[in-house]
Amino acid sequence: MPAEAFTRLGATVLMRPSPWRLGADDAALTAAWLRGWVGADGEQRPDLAVAAAAYLHRRLATNAQGGLQVVVHHDDLLAYYE
């Protein structure tokens, strides 16, 4: 984990939840995220390629119509030295 690496180097580390909330106004970013997410899944499970392609097609169509909302959960990390 990056936080542990910074801590081992003597940094103070703060982590806070910072979810991305993507909606109709973010359609281009949502489409890029979705392609990457489904693509990564396909690398892990090539046996699901046909199902993943169909899923991606459906979700991109919904997104293009403004009907897709996504919450991407992640944490922001701040590491600093005093």
pLDDT tens digits for 23-62?
A: 999 999 999 999 999 999 889 999 999 999 999 999 999 9
So what's the pLDDT on residue 74?
93
Helices (H), the chain: 2-8, 27-44, 49-64
Q: Cα(56)–Cα(54) distance, rounded to whole angstroms?
A: 5
So what's the pLDDT on residue 77?
96
Q: Cα(39)–Cα(79) distance, rounded to whole angstroms?
A: 31
Q: Cα(76)–Cα(15) distance, rounded to whole angstroms?
A: 6
Provide CB contacts within 8 A for 48, sequence distance 6+: 41, 42
Residue 2: pLDDT band (50, 70, 90) is: confident
So what's the pLDDT on residue 9?
95
Domain ranges of the chain: 2-80
Q: Cα(24)–Cα(18) distance, rounded to whole angstroms?
A: 20
